Each structure stands twice: as structure tokens, then as C-alpha cells.
């Protein structure tokens, strides 16, 4: 497995306890996001290196999550029907930044960006990307004060994600199953940190400030890259 791993307890001290933050594993050129599918779609994606086979639909919005534990909560650690195969998808970092720049909240009022509901509604109609801020969850499924982001893709953006922007797709289901019942010092998860959004971009998606430095240039990034 190509993910960089670390004990979950060791990472918690570096993570913000509250607020809206994009948590991810990344370096200066790549960002990892997660999706869970039924076996036919997941296995086809791994074999082909892109999406489109096994019954994958370009007519439905496809949601990506950069936060591993948020993905685990949503898929029930690969135990929910239709989400039995968990994929770690490595994207070009410029592609992830493009997705963030195009994101429009799925409901009015999530972000102080639109003067009224009509302006938000117009943005929804013209954007291929939705964003939602939901409570992040711990390994035991309990909600946290910190908010996690998920991003829904459709149209041309989904097509580019599925065919052009992916650098690698890995089936991490065996790892998920292995970690499913582990807690405390025994739990290992992908190494993550707060993703650095430019001030304008952070304001656009409603991301809170955090004092952490960009992983691409920090000592943490160098550790992640090893």
C-alpha cells in the first residue's frame, strides 16, 4: 500500500479540535481522496486506473472525501451495502485545487459567500461541484466538534476527475478491514494534516484559519513523503 501511515493517537495532537478544516494526505504535487463502491465498480477502477467501468455512472453526482475517518464513518468501515470496496485515489494537486475553487455549498447559508438565496441558486446551476461541511467523526463513529468536507462532482468536472486527473487508484479494503476493530494506540490511519487553502479560497468554501504550515514545505511533509 502506498499510503503513508501513522498511529491515530499521535496525529490527533496536531489536528484542530474544532472548526471547518480540509484534512488530507498530500504533498506539493498530489492529494489523496477516498471513495467507496460496490465491488464491480471498485475493481474495474483499480484495473483500469480510471472510472467508467463496472457500472459507474456519469449521470450521478460522485462524492469524494479527503479525510480517511470521515470516509470510514460514511461507509461503515467497508460494511455498508454498495460501499464494500474502499479506494484511495491520488489526484494531481492542481486538480484538487480546481475542484475546491469551483465548489458551491449544497445548501444556502453554509458559507457567507452569497448575498441572497437567488445568488446561491444561480451558482448551483452553473457549478459542477458541491461542497458539504458535516461533523467529522472519530474511529468509534462518535461526532466531533471539527467539521469535515466532502465534495460532489458532476458533468465536465466528474469526467475530468474520472479520466484525466487521477494519478493512481488503490484498493485499500484489506487495510480498512484490518483496522476496523482497532482503537487507541493500536489504530493506524493514513497520515493527514490541514490542507492549506489560500485566504480567498478558504473564504469561498468557508474554511477556518489554522496555524499549521503547508505540508508541501514543512518537516511534516518531508515525513509524509518518506
Helix residue ranges per DSSP H, the chain: 8-12, 39-48, 68-75, 93-102, 117-126, 155-163, 173-179, 199-205, 219-225
| pLDDT score, position 123 | 86
What is the secondary structure of 118-179 as a DSSP string?
A: HHHHHHHHH-SEEEEEEEEE-TTS-EEEEEEEEEEE-HHHHHHHHHTSEEEEEE-HHHHHHH
Q: What is the pTM of this model?
A: 0.91
Give the model's pLDDT for residue 217.
Answer: 40
Instruction: Give the position of cell 466528474.
Output: 158
Residue numbers of the chain with a pLDDT score lower than 50: 212-226
Alpha-carbon distances of 55 from 40, 59, 74, 166, 196, rounded to whole Å = 7, 11, 21, 19, 35
Residue 94 CB burial class (10 angstroms; 0-12, 13-18, ≥19): exposed
Q: What is the pLDDT of residue 62?
A: 98
3-state secondary structure of 82: coil
pLDDT, mean over the chain: 91
pLDDT tens-digit series, residues 14-69: 999 999 999 999 999 999 999 999 999 999 999 999 999 999 999 999 999 999 99
Amino acid at each position: 500500500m502506498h499510503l503513508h501511515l501513522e498511529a491515530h493517537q499521535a496525529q490527533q495532537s496536531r489536528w484542530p479540535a474544532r472548526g471547518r478544516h480540509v484534512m488530507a494526505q498530500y504533498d506539493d504535487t498530489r492529494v489523496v481522496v477516498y471513495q467507496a463502491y460496490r465491488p464491480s465498480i471498485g475493481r474495474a477502477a483499480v484495473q483500469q486506473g480510471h472510472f467508467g467501468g463496472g457500472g459507474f455512472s456519469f449521470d450521478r453526482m460522485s462524492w469524494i472525501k479527503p479525510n480517511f475517518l470521515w470516509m470510514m464513518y460514511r461507509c461503515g468501515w467497508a460494511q455498508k451495502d454498495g460501499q464494500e470496496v474502499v479506494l484511495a485515489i491520488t489526484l494531481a494537486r492542481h486538480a484538487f485545487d480546481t475542484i475546491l475553487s469551483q465548489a458551491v455549498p449544497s445548501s444556502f447559508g453554509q458559507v457567507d459567500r452569497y448575498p441572497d438565496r437567488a445568488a446561491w441558486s444561480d451558482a448551483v446551476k452553473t457549478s459542477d461541484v458541491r461542497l458539504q461541511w458535516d461533523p467529522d467523526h472519530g474511529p468509534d463513529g462518535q461526532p466531533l466538534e471539527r467539521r469535515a468536507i466532502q465534495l460532489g462532482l458532476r458533468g465536465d468536472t466528474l469526467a475530468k476527475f474520472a479520466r484525466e486527473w487521477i494519478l493512481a487508484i488503490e484498493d485499500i479494503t484489506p487495510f480498512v478491514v484490518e483496522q476496523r476493530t482497532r482503537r487507541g494506540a493500536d489504530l493506524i490511519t493514513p497520515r493527514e494534516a490541514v490542507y492549506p487553502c489560500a485566504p480567498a479560497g478558504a473564504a469561498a468554501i468557508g474554511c477556518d484559519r489554522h496555524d499549521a504550515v503547508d505540508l508541501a514545505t514543512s518537516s511534516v511533509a518531508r515525513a509524509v513523503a518518506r
